[in-house]
Amino acid sequence: MNAVIATLTLVRTNVEEAMRLMVREMKGSAETQQVQLLALRRYLRLGEARVFKQWAWTPAEAAKHTAETQALMDEAFEVAKAFEADNPGFQLSISKLRDLERQVHLLCKNQFVHTAARGLIADAKSTLAGSAYQPTPTAASTQAFRSYLQQVHVKPEPTSAAPGTSDHGQQHAVDFVVMTGTKLIAGVETSLIGPQWYNTGFDKKLKRATEKTPAAQRLRRPVLQGPLQHPYEPWHYSLPKGSASSSGTK
């Protein structure tokens, strides 16, 4: 795994930082390496250019892009106001910029990730036991293992982005969660979409709220695009590039 990381050119330091944060997050767990391997697979499948382009902003970097992200947040606040007007007693909480550390935390606590990672490391160990691999990595065996990681399938395929590559890392998207006071009613757990979103109708109520903002009424269409379809996340909305915000900003 380390030999493959060393072959990266554009994002080696980024990936190494993410790996270090996973070690810290998992506090010596025996499952750390398999989660790291699953994340590395995802980086390779995305490709270095895309990982580099999407990498999560630091707070200092985010501060330089306030004008770009404000339109999304302005419209999200308008959606929350429309939702709360239609659903007395309920409020929408809006996600903030999700830095690398937060993305690592979300990955490491995701049980679907752990299931996929267990299957991957078992398969990887079996592959590494083959005659093409020696105890000390060579250039050829490293490339072979890199190709293996790019192509191998895992089950289930995790819905969590590899740390650093989430849409939330550069505030291209927001997640809405339904609250009543301090109590969470509909959150962002994939396994609870049925009871928390479908059965309550909050998926449709949130979608309806995106159609009722001042900008949506003016344009006769929602400004925020969503919900995310693949994987399906009823709470996830984005602002397409070039869309008008509630303040009229492009």
Structure tokens at 114: 């752990």
Report field, pTM of the whole predicted structure over 0.85: no
Beta strands 236-238; 173-180: pairing state: antiparallel
- The residue ranges of DSSP E strands in the chain, in sequence order, are 91-94, 173-180, 183-186, 228-229, 232-233, 236-238
CA dihedral 141, 142, 145, 151 (to 10 degrees): -120
When pLDDT is averaged across residues 45-54 and rounded to a whole number, the result is 96
pLDDT in tens, 111-169: 999 999 999 999 999 999 998 898 899 999 999 999 999 999 999 998 888 999 998 99
Average pLDDT along the chain: 93
